[in-house]
Amino acid sequence: MAAITAQGHGYLITVKGNQPTLHRAVKTMSASTPLDAWSWSQGGHGHDAHCRLKVWSADPALRADWSGLQRYISVRRWGQREGKTFDHTTYYISSEPRSAWWLAQRLRGHRRIENTLHWTKDVVLHEDDCGLVDSQAATTLALIRNISFNLLVMAGYRSISDGIDAMGEQIGRLWTMISEPAKKQLRI
């Protein structure tokens, strides 16, 4: 954290159970009146969700352990997803002393990345089911998955599954996509 804040940057980090002291502090604070709050709703793709983000000042005692720590944040998400009811609260910390609205925009942007890139890599490309124990082999395979993902996006596919189905046996087209930009860059 110190390296991030020392360069003038901020952070917004999910607090999970593997950080019990911090998790307990944020969860305890969430029972008090927040400094600010922001709500929004979103729907589509088989879900109807409502969200409420609340912000509190961070406990000064924990600021020594977390460089630049300014805010505790909770986001409660509830609604229907594919006919099933859900209600979940996620906790965050941030170095940004910003409004609930500002923080909500950043979290929504992060969720968009999580829901597109990471979900696709986990579910469509089966990254979590890799099973490789050799770190170099796992890293190489992850690199190949990233290149594949980016090539399909470059080819204009919004659905990676559709892109895999359409491009799976078109090695020549994929090679052209890889090599043509490199040739253009060499001419400049």
Looking up tokens 């977390």, which residue turns up? Answer: 66
Question: Within a domain: residue 159?
Answer: yes
Judged against a pLDDT cut of 50, whether residue 187 lies above it is answered with: no
Q: Of 78, 98, 118, which residue constitutes the final position of a domain? A: 98
Mean pLDDT, rounded, for 44-59:
87
Judged against a pLDDT cut of 90, whether residue 75 lies above it is answered with: yes
Question: Within a domain: residue 13?
Answer: yes
Question: Within a domain: residue 42?
Answer: yes
Residue range(s) defining the domain that contains residue 41: 2-98
Residues near 56 by beta carbon (within 8 Å), at least 6 away in sequence: 29, 30, 32, 34, 35, 71, 72, 73
**Is residue 90 located within the same domain as residue 142?**
no
Question: Within a domain: residue 104?
Answer: no
pLDDT in tens, 100-154: 999 998 887 655 555 566 667 777 777 777 777 787 887 888 788 777 777 777 7
Say if residues 25 and 72 touch (Cβ distance below 8 Å): yes
Element (H, E) at 131: none
Judged against a pLDDT cut of 70, whether residue 184 lies above it is answered with: no
**Is residue 10 located within the same domain as residue 90?**
yes
Please provide the DSSP assignment of 31-78 as one string: TS--SEEEEEEEEETTEEEEEEEEEEEPPHHHHTTSTT--EEEEEEEE
